[in-house]
Every structure is written in structure tokens, then in C-alpha cells.
Amino acid sequence: MEKMTSPYKWGMVIDLDRCTGCGACVVACQAENNVGLCDKKEIAEGRDMHWLRIERFWVGEYPDVRVRFLPVLCQHCHDAPCEPVCPVYASYHNPDGLNGQVYNRCVGTRYCGNNCPYAVRVFNFYPHDWPKPLDNQLSPDITVRSRGVMEKCTFCVQRIRRAKEEAKGEGRMVRDGEVQPACAQTCPAEAIVFGNMADPQSRVARLSRSPRRFRLLEHLGTHPSVYYLKGGGREHV
């Protein structure tokens, strides 16, 4: 039997000092992953389908007011609260440390979404259709999810797979920076860095050792694979 360990532990670092909150990552994620188009009514009901959102916080009062942005996506926890509650094992952990979701196994109990402290799993409440010829934009690499399943960020697993296959064909490991999810690829300020945490020399592993690092809701003990770096420097508020 093949051993269940892997030389890869995919992880991400988001530098909040670089992030300008511009939203390029949000659209890139939708474009890459066939995320459904939600009209105003659906979003009003809280049934928005974004896999990646930018949280915005107002701190202080005029004129000493500041804004902070926090891109939130699936944190790919090592002790993921969504996994043990899934009755059909649609939510699972893969050897690379990804928190995976098997769409055709999902029966839509939404227990996982209920248990996720980061509110990053989105449920398909409606059938999302792409009016012709808009359906031409759908990526052939990813399934188009139907109504009634839970979906989420996968760190663009289709890109990871391709990179791994290519590397395997050439008999080597995936190089640092060779594979990037759509959000990291497009981020103008290079705030999002993705890579192999298991390689201590990778850029993402080096950044994750920064003294500015923290993880979301760390006290819950979910051990996310996404590290954030706090803003630095002097602040005047």
C-alpha cells in the first residue's frame, strides 16, 4: 500500500502590510473556479458564492480612523472542524495537507459549514446557470457544481495536480513558486504567497516564520495552513 504521507504540505502566507484590498484576487478566484454568478437577491439572503472574500474592519472614529483588510479563504486546517462532522466523508484531508471537498459525495447536510469557524464554505442554494454564450468561459478543469452541494476554496487544486504531474514526469519535486493559485498569481502587491511548507527553504515557509505572523482564531486549535503577517511600522491611530 502506498504510504499516506507526502513531501508536500501546501500553505499560504498573506502579508496584510502589502494587501491593499483591491479585490483582484476575488475576481481571479471566481474566474478560475467556475464560481456561480449570484444576483442581488441571492446575496441579500446571504447566499453569496465567493470562495475568497475580503473582510473589512473600521477601527477608531473620525478623524482617527483606520481600515484593515483581511482576505479570508478556506484556511485548510490540519485539525479541521468541518471534517469529522461530514456524514458522507465529502470533507476530507488529503496527504498534501489540503482540506478537500468531494462534490459528488456531498449530500448537502451543511454540517461542515455550520462547524467552520471561518465561514468560508459556501452552499449552493440555487442552480447557477450561465446564460449563453457566457457558459463558454467555464473552465474545463473544474466541475460545475450543481445546486445542493457545499463548495469551497481548494487552493486551486487543479493547478497543483498539473504541476505535480509535470514534476513527476520529469522526476523531480515541484519547484518553489512553480504552482500558484489564481489569487496569488494575480495579486498586484504580491501580498499572497503560496508554496510548500514542508520545504523549510521555500518562500512561504520562510515568510511563515516572520515575527509578524499570526493565524486566524488560533485559540480554537484548528491549526490552519494560512498564515497572516500583521501590518508593520508606525501607525498614527
Q: Between residue 55 and residue 74, which ones bind another protein under the rule CB under 8 A?
A: 55-63, 65-70
One residue of 1, 136, 169, 171 binding another protein per CB under 8 A:
136
One residue of 2, 3, 40, 201 binding another protein per CB under 8 A:
40
Nearest approach in angstroms of CB 3 to another protein is 28
Q: Are the beta carbons of 50 and 26 closer than 8 angstroms?
A: yes
3-state SS track over 81-98: CCCCCCCCCCEEECCCCC
Characterize the bridge pairing of strands 226-229 and 10-15.
Answer: parallel
One residue of 9, 53, 76, 152 binding another protein per CB under 8 A:
53
Is residue 172 at the binding interface for another protein, with CB under 8 A as the rule?
no
One residue of 12, 13, 28, 179 binding another protein per CB under 8 A:
28
Is residue 16 at the binding interface for another protein, with CB under 8 A as the rule?
yes
Is residue 185 at the binding interface for another protein, with CB under 8 A as the rule?
yes
Asked whether the CA dihedral 199, 72, 123, 141 is positive or negative, the reply is negative
# of chain residues touching another protein (CB under 8 A): 72
98 vs 116: CA distance, rounded Å: 15
Contact set for another protein, span 190-209 (CB under 8 A): 190-191
Peptide bond into 200 cis (omega under 30): no
Is residue 230 at the binding interface for another protein, with CB under 8 A as the rule?
yes
Is residue 221 at the binding interface for another protein, with CB under 8 A as the rule?
no
76 vs 51: CA distance, rounded Å: 13
DSSP 9: -
Is residue 164 at the binding interface for another protein, with CB under 8 A as the rule?
no
**Backbone angles phi and psi of 222, in degrees to 5:** -85, -15
- Per CB under 8 A, the segment of 2-10, 17-25, 87-95, 148-156 that binds another protein is 17-25
